[in-house]
Chain A
């Protein structure tokens, strides 16, 4: 299909979203990511049983922590789609990019820059 999605989205490939750990999400924000979304298989369709369900719980935990530390829980999101849904993938990438752009840059990144200056 050769569909285009926003170039600011950096894809990190994993064998299953069940591999996503809470610390991976937090480190991304610590390193300055403005937003993170986890794209897992449709619920009930995990090849490994319940990897995407585990990922959803971890995303919820990350939301909770990010809210408490003042970064904003909305910066992390879980999506479920099948690998054949390319148009949906593009739609999500655009949706997330627009949402994060509206929220502005990661305050941690800004604080680090301010401290380095």
Chain B
């Protein structure tokens, strides 16, 4: 999932100072799971903002809605009828949702309520960590299902660097060395000989380095 964390309340308040009719829009997908912008967080933020503005003596109308997704036309369309009654939207979706909202409702200011961080997993409640950088050319088949692109600080493709000590990365003593995990898993799978095979030079043009990416599938396109 896409992992995000809520922006500090002070920053959100600063963004919304000039508006008197605001819609706080949550998203039922990734940001719900990482507890940054789901229905619950939307209600909490809307309530906090209402109290803040009331306490400032400002009459600000703050409503809340949580859409199934903000990255699909059909769900964003659900607010088309009411969008005209708001001066601004605070979207608690990831950066994708915020942008799609801004593209769709071109004349309404849209502000982000979360900082979108990475694609990752829930290690335990309250702890999320990165697993994928969307490099566009998955190499997990060669690396025992552990990704050195997202989990190695140097994105090394042929074994660990000299900074790997006792299975930990030199940038953080708590951080596992991705290559140590890869080797341990290759051993477990009885495929350690794969470690000897050199990875070819990776084509980074499919990653962000090649500019904004797009997938078009004519077989399902309508």
Contact = CB atoms under 8 A, between A and B. Distances in A.
Interface stretch (A12-20, A23-31, A91-99): A23-31
Contact of A26 (B9, B51, B55): B51
Interface residues of B, number: 15
Contacts of A111: 54-55, 57
A68 B55 contact: no
A72 to B, nearest CB: 10
B57 A30 contact: no
A67 to B, nearest CB: 10
- Which secondary structure dominates chain B's binding surface? helix
| Size bin of chain A's contact surface | 10 to 19
A30 B50 contact: yes
Contacts of A29: 51
Contacts of B219: none
Given A111-B57, A114-B57, A115-B59, A69 B44 contact: no
Contacts of B52: 68-70
A65 B9 contact: yes
A74 B222 CA distance: 58
B165 interface: no
Contacts of A69: 9, 48, 51-52, 55
Interface string B41-65: 0011001101110111101000000
A70 B55 CA distance: 7
Interface string A92-117: 00000000000000011001101100
Contacts of B40: 21-23
B32 to A, nearest CB: 15
A108 B54 contact: yes
Nearest to B9: A68
A71 interface: yes
Contacts of A27: 47
B10 interface: yes
Contact of B47 (A26, A68, A112): A26
A107 B56 CA distance: 10
A65 B10 CA distance: 10
Contacts of B47: 23, 26-27, 30
Interface of A: 21-23, 26-27, 29-30, 65-66, 68-71, 107-108, 111-112, 114-115
**9 nearest A-B pairs in the assembled complex, by CB-CB distance:** A69-B52, A26-B47, A70-B55, A111-B54, A69-B51, A68-B9, A23-B43, A65-B48, A107-B55
17 contacts: A22-B40, A23-B40, A26-B47, A26-B48, A26-B51, A29-B51, A66-B51, A68-B10, A69-B51, A69-B52, A69-B55, A70-B56, A108-B54, A108-B55, A111-B57, A115-B54, A115-B57
Given A26-B44, A68-B9, A108-B51, 4 more contacts: A23-B44, A69-B52, A70-B55, A112-B54
